[in-house]
Structure 1
């Protein structure tokens, strides 16, 4: 809904009022002052022409020259001329077809001139002033001629030619001004109505032309105030409004870029804060887990060492205590080693020693490498290789991943169970799977087993010598290689795998 004070309405009303006032004022001024202006203009023109005529007339010597000048002047200016010599005799009179009327005009003019000259101080003063005397005939001046009343309405002028000692009378009829003014009023009545309609129409168009781009700019600015910088202000003009629209669009782009940068910075800051929180939690969990993992072997070593120190053990029992101490020491050593590896991997400062090699050459020695552990539990191992698949990776670290998978499978497979190592050739990658028979992993545990110190069965894992860090190390090594790893339950049991990019 548009505001009652919208700029379109303001422009429309202001423009309309200005033009209406202008036309109305013009009509009033013309109606009130046109007649006076016309008479003033006519009087000034006659005075000017009378002076020019007298200057030319005074230089002429012969009657023919005078007659020629008078005729040309009358034809050009539509004036009537009367000239009287110094004795008062009529020297020249503009003649018409009616000689009687001409005589009457001459007498009327003599009467008028005498009256006007007397009003300024007489003939002597008039001659001395050397200025033309301009006057209007009185509309109420009536002269009875043959029982007929004749009324005149003219502007007349008298000038004295000192060189020839003659009086020059010049007069011309005034148009019926009152009638002309009345006609103009009637004309303006219709003109006024038509002009009002046209003005209102043009004002509406003009106000829309001016207001339309301003409305667009206001709309865009309103959206910018709501932090919506998607809409651009399209105003195609080369004036200040167009420049304002261009500046507004540029401001919108700059604000959008700044806001986007600020959002990105805030998002990064939030991620960094969240990461820092996670790291803090990880440190706490890590310290707690390490304390827990070290507590048991340290307690065992301390107790068994105390027993040995008391020298109360002999024979096989003594040897058993020594073997337990050595085994717990080995587990502690493995734990510390894994912790150091994991710390290096998670720090981001670990450098891989990458080289090109065939992945099957890394998988092939598994049977021989783990033969004693496999034979101990009577485990059947099957290896399915894919030849000539080359990767670029750190041989030792990928071997560590495969060793961890194999060790983990041997720990959890039942006696007489099966382990299958399979290579799968994909379009642009190679997948290595280690699958063991036995119990499956709960779906809720499948994501947690990659966390530091997480163990599905803590008592069993300890018995088998696990530290809870192996899969976390695997995950970090594979991620450093740009690959992926995972776990899935199968019909046979559980399958761990990792994927690397082929050359």
Structure 2
């Protein structure tokens, strides 16, 4: 129980409030019990003395004893006190049936309220208070008036208070418990809400709200806690977004690194093959191996291998340059239709050699922001692929359309299909649809990879798809970068 009280604010407030209320109420009751008898005695004595002096003034105006006795009798009835009237010789004149020796209580010696014996007139007996007064009538006769005030009622009231003590204690305990419960709940309720909200915030849950409408310090604290929760929630959301973006960037960087490593591995493999061939030719000629006596023949083959390596190295260097200078693309407003016509004109002999039919559907002028040299290289690679992989006598169809925001271009070559499973790999470096890398069509396998890099630098959409008659490469260029 002690541990529970230590851990809970409401338990501490309840216990402290209960102890304070019980102490205050009990202390108040005992103070009343201690102070009331003496205060009551003082009040009774003052009232009795005032009334006695008033009676003396009245008696002093009479000239015979009968009137005095009548006034004394009325005084006893009114005040409830006992009165003796003695003459100057000590004889008791009133009441007539009581003698001084038997019942007279003098003021010379009596018991005080605290139980000790005293003769001081200013100290009051626990049972009776006796006062003696001298007075004279108009006829000159002297008398002694003794007034006895019964103080038993004081002791009786004290006994009544003591008898109610158990009931008072029970009521004090009950009221203290109820008041302590109410007070502890009233004080700790907003604190408990603040504690619950702060606990949610500590576990990074900012959905909790403090609905306190108070204008005191607790209300101000609740408002500040709500503001803090909103700020932390906003900051946490921004942090989560930043973390998600960072994670995406890291994954992208890892993917780029993986692609770079794959590219270098593939490039090394592509260079290794012609180097092996070239080394074999040279070793065979130098060592006089049978079959390599015709040096001119094998030197010619070695030259062809070297030229192929030179093309491959140039393309590798070009890829390295476009990846390195992605942010340094020089955009200018270029006529895309005129650029296409220029590239097609350069490949006219190649088209005639393959006996292909060329169909061009290009507007007179279509302008958009481009890097002319880069885009010419991309279009050239696309057209060369279309021409190279088209059977003799087929068609190459070039179409350009435009909208308010996009320029669309498609280059379709008929008479050939690409397996659907391989289309997604066509833009990977060194990937060829042909199983044999020594295909008669030649090529380094980097043409479409270079196209991908150039188009991505131009924020273009692109792809390859099979059509009813052949294969179509499509791209969409934005009119604004």
Matched, 1:37 2:35: yes
Deviation, structure 1 residue 437: 1.6
Deviation, structure 1 residue 177: 4.7
Deviation, structure 1 residue 283: 4.1
Cα distance, 1:353–1:118 mapped onto 2, change above 3 Å: closer
1:355 is matched with 332
Matched, 1:81 2:72: no
Matched, 1:107 2:77: no
Separation in structure 1 between the aligned mates of residue 322 and residue 461 of structure 2, nearest angstrom: 15
Deviation, structure 1 residue 105: 1.5
- Answer whether contact 1:83 1:169 (CA < 8 A) is retained: no
1:410 is matched with 387
Separation in structure 2 between the aligned mates of residue 81 and residue 349 of structure 1, nearest angstrom: 123
**Is the partner of 1:468 in helix, strand or coil?**
coil
2:11 is matched with 10
1:214 is matched with 191
Separation in structure 2 between the aligned mates of residue 114 and residue 301 of structure 1, nearest angstrom: 153
Deviation, structure 1 residue 475: 1.4
* Deviation by residue 1:431-470 (Cα, 9 ceiling, x = unmatched): 1111112332233322222122222225367532311212
Separation in structure 1 between the aligned mates of residue 239 and residue 255 of structure 2, nearest angstrom: 24
1:117 is matched with 108
Instruction: Calculate the TM-score normalised by the size of structure 1.
Output: 0.68
- Answer whether contact 2:425 2:431 (CA < 8 A) is retained: yes
Cα distance, 1:388–1:321 mapped onto 2, change above 3 Å: same
2:313 is matched with 336
Query: Superposition RMSD on alpha carbons, in Å?
Result: 4.9
Alignment of 1:32-431 (within 5 A): 34=33, 37-44=35-42, 79-81=51-53, 98-100=71-73, 105-107=83-85, 115-117=106-108, 133-136=122-125, 138=127, 155=129, 176-177=153-154, 204-246=181-223, 248-249=225-226, 252=229, 256=233, 263=240, 267=244, 270-271=247-248, 274-275=251-252, 277-302=254-279, 312-313=293-294, 318=296, 324-348=301-325, 351-431=328-408
* Deviation by residue 1:98-139 (Cα, 9 ceiling, x = unmatched): 44466972438998998333579xxxxxxxx9x96232373x
1:494 is matched with 471
1:59 is matched with none
Deviation, structure 1 residue 368: 2.4
Separation in structure 2 between the aligned mates of residue 24 and residue 338 of structure 1, nearest angstrom: 100
Cα distance, 1:362–1:276 mapped onto 2, change above 3 Å: closer
Separation in structure 1 between the aligned mates of residue 449 and residue 353 of structure 2, nearest angstrom: 27
**Is the partner of 1:81 in helix, strand or coil?**
helix
Separation in structure 1 between the aligned mates of residue 368 and residue 131 of structure 2, nearest angstrom: 124
* Deviation by residue 1:127-180 (Cα, 9 ceiling, x = unmatched): xx9x96232373xxxxxxxxxxxxxx5x566899xxxxxx99998776945676
Which deviates the most, 410-419 or 295-304? 295-304
Cα distance, 1:187–1:230 mapped onto 2, change above 3 Å: same
Separation in structure 2 between the aligned mates of residue 169 and residue 467 of structure 1, nearest angstrom: 145
Separation in structure 1 between the aligned mates of residue 124 and residue 54 of structure 2, nearest angstrom: 15
Q: Which runs of 5+ in 1 are unaligned?
A: 51-73, 121-128, 139-152, 161-166
Which deviates the most, 452-461 or 96-105? 96-105
Cα distance, 1:199–1:406 mapped onto 2, change above 3 Å: same
Deviation, structure 1 residue 334: 1.9
Instruction: Calculate the TM-score normalised by the size of structure 2.
Output: 0.71
**Is the partner of 2:123 in helix, strand or coil?**
strand
